[in-house]
Structure 1
Amino acid sequence: MSLLHDAVRAESLAVLSRFRTDFYDCLTARADALFELADAVLCTDGPVRSLVELALAREHRRGHGTLYAGLNRGQVDVARLRRVLAGVPLPRAADGRLVLAVDVSPWLRPDAGTVPDRSFCPTYGRGGAKHQMMPGWPYSVVVALESGRTSCSALLDAVRLTPGADLAAVTASQVREVVERLVTAGQWTEGDLDILVVLDAGYDAPRIAYLLSGLSVEVLGRTRSDRVMGLPAPPREEFFQAHPKSGRMPRHGGEFVFGDPATWGVEQAVTVSGTRLYGKATAQAWDRLDPRLTQRAAWLDHDGPLPVIEGTVIRLAVEHLPSGGVNKPVWLWWSRTGATEADVDRCWQAFLRRFDIEHTFRMLKQTLGWTRPRLRDSADRWTWLILAAHTQLRLPRPLATDLRRPWERLAPPHKLTPARVRRGFRNLRTTTGSPAGAPKPTTPGPGRPPGSKNRRPATRHDVGRVLAGSEPYQRPAHHKVGTKPRRTG
């Protein structure tokens, strides 16, 4: 056991050292300043509250002027860093497949009128727990999820959504590029289980599955509870016997109304499981259901007849919620048909694991200080430094010493949270070394003369929107006061 433990620690140390070297090679300008800035993020005691405080960390051997100059004039080879992130060891599900989660997290900048490319971002829990739209930068982030109860995920990619961007098209393109990099890095080979992509509500899962056709991926997305989908069309002979005078074969059968159990029919599969947090969980699945597409919005410019995108609809109902909130069933759409009971259990459990990405966002913002700086043109550069820093907290978990607080529970080394690994990263850093060179003595510049005015004011920019479906934003009817959801029983 001791030899095995030593081998695991040696392998983890080699992986971390190799990643730090590769990350340094991705910094093509002001590399030393940017690399030590990332180390300062990892070694600072407590949460990161401002950029200038990072210059006080002993791992940052340069002055605060160099810190800002590195962010403003440094360069990161993003394409190379993406390949490096795809090549490090990644977590996998219990059956060995890769499970990717995609979500959008905003970097709110409501008071920054001179910042370009801001969009209205939906926020919750601000101003009396109200739903608000606030200006900011929405980032679409892709992570690889672990199995079991954990708050750690592997960051793979981040893309800033520009105003007017089609969310489904951008997400499909981002996932396709991530999967291609994983294949190139050897994370997926021919014969492996398909990669599962998990989406939350707000994504058009059927359209994303259609855009990802040709890849070995499965798409699982949450859908609204007021949807109406089409049942599979009846066999040709059976239909024309019942309707001999019909002119053509229909594209769909009857309607499957989520809010009307009378339209559901017989399930494809039913599973009942006992969970620690939710009590009894009942999952029902119906096969070969598809959204009834129309020639509008995202499909307005589609050439030829609209596709029939069949999938499996899963209804998950749990006994109770841990928070004591309103217990409503969750509806999921899976891009495969012919689901077995094992597939149904795997899908809804993978969807619950999707919420690990929320813990990752909280770690990036509240501890690593992702959205703390008030940057204008170097936000993407800072974002990639934070992604690289988070990866350095995930890789050395077998090496970290659990410096837990008295009120925290014991955790095995391979299940330490990134925040607990960060407490001892300063000691790990000494074992891996730093490729950054020593700072050179310089004389600070004179700066702006006292009392002089800024003769080059920054340009002010308007705020746009990210489009959820290639059409202008409209408040959904079931969100308006005094209205009821469509077709609910």
Structure 2
Amino acid sequence: MSLVHQDVPRDAFAEVSHFRSELYACLTARGDALFELCDALLCMDGPVRTLVDLALAPEHRRGHGALYGGLNQGWIDVARRRRALAGVPLPRAVDGRLVLAVDVSPWLRPGANTCADRDLCHTFGWGEGKHQMVPGWPYSVVAALESGRTSWTAVLDAVRLEPGADIAAVTTVQIREVVERLIAAGQWRRGDPEVLVVLDAGYDAPRIAHLLDDLPVEILGRLCSDRVMRRPTPSREEFLLANPKGGRPPKHGGEFVFGNPTTWGAEQAVTVTDTRLYGKATAQAWDRLHPRLTRRAAWLDGPLPIIEGTVIRLAVEKLPSGGANKPVWLWWSRTGATNVHVDRCWQSFLRRFDIEHTFRLFKQTLGWTRPRLRSFEAADRWTLLVIAAYARLRLARPLAADLRSPWEKPTEVNKLTSARVRRGFRNLRTKTGSPAGAPKPSRPEPGRPPGSKNRKRATRHEVGRVLATGEAYTRPAHHKVGTKPRRQTSHPPRQ
């Protein structure tokens, strides 16, 4: 699954030029400063260390005051920018299917007490199984995945999660809006394969699949290894055969305990594949399994639905990192899985980790989390500019030259990494021109008189999740992970 490149390079050049013009049209206030900031982000030599360094790039013709003024007082037409991202060529699977991945990446701000709307973000610490909760701004990102050995993705949307937000509800709305924009842009038409949405552990995949049942999407989510599923409700004949005296028919069938192989029964499908990194990969699938929902959290109103799907157990022979080799449990929102479906599901899930390469590029090369911005509105604008810059890099892949260092190996043009495409973007920018106007001379504000004190103390904000009533959020006792299988659960905790 590779990007759909145009046969003529001039067509790819037209795509880059059109996207630049559309991006400039989305910048409705202080557009010149924001557009040149995005150009400097792509043309700067080396990784972005500080935000003010971008003002020294030749592509940024304005001072550092205009840079911060654009982020603090600028305005971006978010709806139009999202439509522009949905209209560019997107990567597809071999069967023409769109594969979307959803994940959360934090912008950590542990010491920024004057920043509002900070939440406790889950981060991994040093050592196996260690994790920390650090204050910051978490962002939910949706990206289209490629197949094969690549680090490229097509980021389509990013939403900041507010404190106390229901992650499943926010993710459902985000996926719905992304899919509707893809349909409106002609990326999906009636008769095409359904869009596959891949989720990691921490998302309530059955609930999201139930809320998106009216859209042409399939949900594939990872489950914790201590989950317990239920089999289909037995028929009337089977119930009477097991209970000759009659009684109330059960609503759920027998248990399927992930940690107890004696409850698994016969598989629906089994595949064995030889892989280069993981050795022999064995995938087993069991059909028509559903979680037993209870009257809490998201299921307080209305009847409790039966959300059936396929459970897939993936076991590999080895791990490249040499860590603990544990099986991976997946839940697919469709039933009647065949060997082809099982292979497509677990291979698509492994491709989900490509979004981690995108996060690393955002943070280490493009400097997404480098600015020390106080306002979360400015952080949202900076995030949108970083995503737009990355989209321009992806469109410039067929046009980029391999400007490699002497110690680097030659690489084909269409197989360049995003960091190596960025090296030659300055040469491409000189051919496209800039729609931004020339800077006008101005005189800086006098600022605070020398020797005077700042008597207006900035407001301090508390950190953590809050409820709709304004009370502090505390994790319920039944949400804590125990050693025994959880037989009644509606959404698994994040591992």
Superposition TM-score, scaled by structure 1 size: 0.94
Q: Distance in 2 between matches of 1:226 and 1:267?
A: 19
The equivalences for 1:219-230 within 5 A come to 219-230=219-230
Contact 2:285-2:310 within 8 A present in 1 as well: yes
How many angstroms does 1:477 deviate by? 8.0
Identity %: 72
Query: Could you tell me which residue of structure 2 aligns to residue 59 of structure 1?
Result: 59
Given the superposition, is the C-alpha separation of residues 466 and 315 from structure 1 closer, same or farther in structure 2, using an over 3 Å criterion? farther
Unaligned 5+ runs, structure 2:
468-472, 488-495
TM-fit CA distance, 1:406: 3.9
Deviation at 1:153, TM superposition (A): 0.4
| 1:362 match | 360
Match of 1:29 in 2: 29
Given that 1:140 and 1:161 are in contact with CA atoms closer than 8 Å, whether structure 2 keeps it comes out as yes
Given residue 141 of structure 1, which amino acid in structure 2 is its aligned partner?
V
C-alpha deviation, 1:242, in angstroms: 2.7
Instruction: Indicate if the aligned counterparts of 1:142 and 1:156 stay in contact, CA closer than 8 A.
Output: yes
Counterpart of 1:421 in structure 2 is 421
Taking a change above 3 Å as real, the CA distance of residues 318 and 127 of structure 1, as seen in their structure-2 partners, is closer
2:491 matched residue in structure 1: none
Q: Secondary structure at the match of 1:233?
A: coil
Aligned to 2:345: 347
Structure 1 residues 279 and 180 mapped into 2: Cα distance closer, same or farther (>3 Å)?
Answer: same
Contact kept in structure 2, 1:478 and 1:485, CA below 8 Å: no
Q: Which moved more, 1:440-449 or 1:175-184?
A: 440-449
CA contact (8 A) 1:477 1:485 kept: no
Offset at residue 431 of structure 1 (A):
1.5
Amino acid at match of 1:114: T
Aligned positions, number:
476
1:133-191: CA deviations, max 9, x gaps?
Answer: 01000000000001111101001001100011000000001000000000000000100
Shift of 1:241: 3.3
Distance 1:339 1:129, change over 3 A: closer
Q: What are the ranges of 5 or more consecutive residues in structure 1 without an aligned counterpart?
A: none
The structure-2 alpha-carbon separation of the partners of 1:351 and 1:57, relative to structure 1 and needing over 3 Å to count, comes to: same
Deviation at 1:249, TM superposition (A): 2.3
Matched position secondary structure for 2:298: helix
CA 1:406 to 1:475, structure 2 compared with 1: closer, same or farther past 3 Å?
Answer: farther
Q: Secondary structure at the residue paired with 1:465?
A: coil
Label 1:127 to 1:162 Cα distance change in 2 as closer, same or farther (>3 A): farther
Q: Where in structure 1 do 4 or more consecutive aligned residues deviate above 4 Å?
A: 126-129, 474-479
From 327, 330, 342, give the equivalent of 2:325.
Answer: 327
Q: Which residue number in structure 2 is paired with residue 473 of structure 1? A: 475
Letter of the structure 2 residue corresponding to residue 486 of structure 1:
P
Q: Which amino acid aligns with 1:308?
A: I
Match of 1:484 in 2: 483
Deviation at 1:306, TM superposition (A): 0.3
Q: Report what 1:203 is aligned to.
A: 203
Measured in 2, the distance between the counterparts of 1:189 and 1:119 equals 39
**Matched letter for residue 288 of structure 1:** R
Shift of 1:7: 4.3
CA contact (8 A) 1:154 1:391 kept: yes
Structure 1 residue 127: deviation in Å? 8.7
Mapped contact 1:257–1:263 kept (Cα < 8 A): yes
Which residue does 1:270 correspond to in 2? 270
Matched, 1:373 2:375: no
Matches within 5 A, 1:105-144: 105-125=105-125, 130-144=130-144
- Relative distance call for 1:189 and 1:63 in structure 2 (3 A) is same
Q: Tell whether the 8 Å contact from 2:228 to 2:485 is kept in structure 1 after alignment.
A: no
Aligned pair in 2 of structure 1 residues 329, 73: CA closer, same or farther (>3 Å)? same
Q: Distance in 1 between matches of 2:253 and 2:69?
A: 63
**Cα distance in structure 1, aligned partners of 2:306 and 2:466:** 27
Distance 1:478 1:450 in 2: 55
Q: How does 1:280-291 map to 2 (within 5 A)?
A: 280-291=280-291
SS of the residue 2:399 aligns to: coil
- Alpha-carbon distance change, 452 to 306 in structure 1, aligned in 2, over 3 angstroms: same
Q: Distance in 1 between matches of 2:66 and 2:126?
A: 36
Asked whether the 8 Å contact 2:6–2:12 carries over to 1, the reply is no
SS of the aligned residue for 1:299 comes to coil
Measured in 2, the distance between the counterparts of 1:219 and 1:406 equals: 45
CA distance in 2, matches of 1:307, 1:445: 62
Provide TM-score, normalisation by structure 2: 0.93
Partner SS for 2:70: helix
Residue in 1 aligned with 2:445?
Answer: 445
Map of 2:383 onto structure 1: 383
Alignment partner, residue 39 of structure 2:
39
Shift of residue 417, structure 1, vs aligned partner: 1.4
Return closer, same or farther for 1:28/1:397 CA change in 2, 3 Å cut-off.
same
